[in-house]
Amino acid sequence: MILVVGTDGLIGGALCRFLAEAGETVVGTSRKQRRDAVILDLEQPESFAVPQNVKTAVICAGIGGLRECADDPMGTSRINVEGAVEIAQKIAAAGGSVIALSTNLVSDGRLPFPTAGDSLRPCCEYGRQKARMEEKLKGPQFACVRLTKVVETLGPRFATWKESLLAGRNVSASSELPFSPVPLVEVCVALAELARNFRSGTFHISGDRDFSYFAAARRLASVLGVSESLVHADKLGGSDLFDPVPNFGTLGIAAPSDCSRWRFSPSSDTLTGFLTSL
């Protein structure tokens, strides 16, 4: 059985559905009372009993908001580090293997395509928390998968920009912060393959190039058929959350051995497809 920790979130929910549709025996967790999920709150990991016969667990739960992590480092660390690690160790003690999702932000982004073996140099509080989680999850029962930007997580932001652009209103987008988009479905395919054919280690899922949010917003304007002059560059645009501000958001793709489906679409195609679907 595969356990997906955190089906309230975008990635965890999509992965759980993908596995079920592929015929896998899968159980998800939720903070809420749901008939289709086991209750788990990472703030109270001690109360969680690992379901029987868990072969592999994928930990997708956590607080991913960069501002929230910066504003409350202790509170968010209890979830992203202590809670996630305790759950992972419980699952390992029960005989299961654990895949924990991490982030490209464990790198400082000074150079493109860092390797899985490069030293950790987190560039923000969220990255520091994920780096601490990774350091605690070493051994043959653990894998950490670092992701660049899953493009569907940008849905609310880009939907707001779309509404403004169609109404002829200006929008501001960061010209400094890079992101390397990957599609959710391809992330699910890769994680499902690793869950079925577990390998320990550190692995990377990444797009092949970066975009600034300003460039992406201008592409959105083009897709909508409105003037790109409505999009203005915001040089601050959240860069206060980073030290240093990364120059690149890409990772050097690192695939587990024997995983044939660890392939990802060109970032430009991913971004255009996402914008067209809004």
170 domain-assigned: no
**Cβ(179)–Cβ(161) below 8 Å:** no
pLDDT digits (tens, 9 = 90+) for 139-190: 999 999 999 999 999 999 999 999 999 999 999 999 999 999 999 999 999 9
114 domain-assigned: yes
> Could you give the CA distance from residue 240 to residue 124 in angstroms, rounded to a whole number?
9
The first and second tokens of residue 168, run together, are 């002829």
Which domain CATH number covers 101?
A: 3.40.50.720
Q: Is pLDDT above 90 for 18?
A: yes
pLDDT bin (cut points 50, 70, 90) of residue 35 is confident
Say which residue the tokens 């809420």 belong to.
32
Q: What are phi and psi of 269, to 5 degrees?
A: -65, -40
> Could you give the CA distance from residue 278 to residue 257 in angstroms, rounded to a whole number?
36
Q: Is pLDDT above 90 for 275?
A: yes
Return the pLDDT at 167: 98
175 domain-assigned: no
241 domain-assigned: no
75 domain-assigned: yes
Classify strands 211-212 and 178-179 as parallel, antiparallel or unpaired: antiparallel
Return the pLDDT at 244: 93
> Could you give the CA distance from residue 111 to residue 150 in angstroms, rounded to a whole number?
20
Q: Is pLDDT above 90 for 222?
A: yes
Q: How many structural domains does the chain have?
A: 1
90 domain-assigned: yes
Return the pLDDT at 258: 87
Q: Is pLDDT above 90 for 116?
A: yes
Domain that holds residue 144: 2-153+182-208+250-264
225 domain-assigned: no
Mean pLDDT across the stretch 61-87? 97
Q: Does the pTM exceed 0.95?
A: yes
Instruction: Name every residue whose Cβ is closer than 8 Å to that of residue 138 and which is 6 or more positions away in sequence.
Output: none
213 domain-assigned: no
